[in-house]
């Protein structure tokens, strides 16, 4: 599980803070909407980072994404 908070979409980027397994350690990822390249990443979990990137790509397609999102995997 990873919790995304402060999801922000601008004209060029989408970004979010993320908390792997609901811990207090905070990561951050920002992705360019056009190229889908990561432009900034403060990594706290390489395992969670792949899930965060996939979810940011999905949320980028939504005109007004939510401010928070919980991603579950099994």
pLDDT in tens, 6-55: 999 999 999 999 999 888 899 999 999 999 999 999 999 888 999 999 99
pTM above 0.75, yes or no: yes
CA–CA distance from 32 to each of 12, 22, 23, 51, 72 (Å)? 6, 26, 26, 16, 24
Owning domain of residue 62: 2-71
Bridge partners of 70, per DSSP, are: 3
Q: What domain count does the chain have?
A: 1
**Locate tokens 């919790």: which residue?**
3
């Amino acid at each position: 599980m990873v919790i995304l908070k402060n999801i922000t979409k601008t004209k060029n980027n989408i970004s979010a803070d993320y908390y792997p397994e609901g811990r207090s350690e905070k990561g951050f990822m920002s992705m360019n909407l056009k190229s889908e390249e990561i432009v900034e990443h403060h990594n706290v979990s390489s395992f969670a980072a792949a899930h965060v990137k996939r979810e940011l790509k999905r949320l980028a397609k939504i005109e007004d994404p939510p401010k928070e999102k919980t991603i579950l995997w099994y």
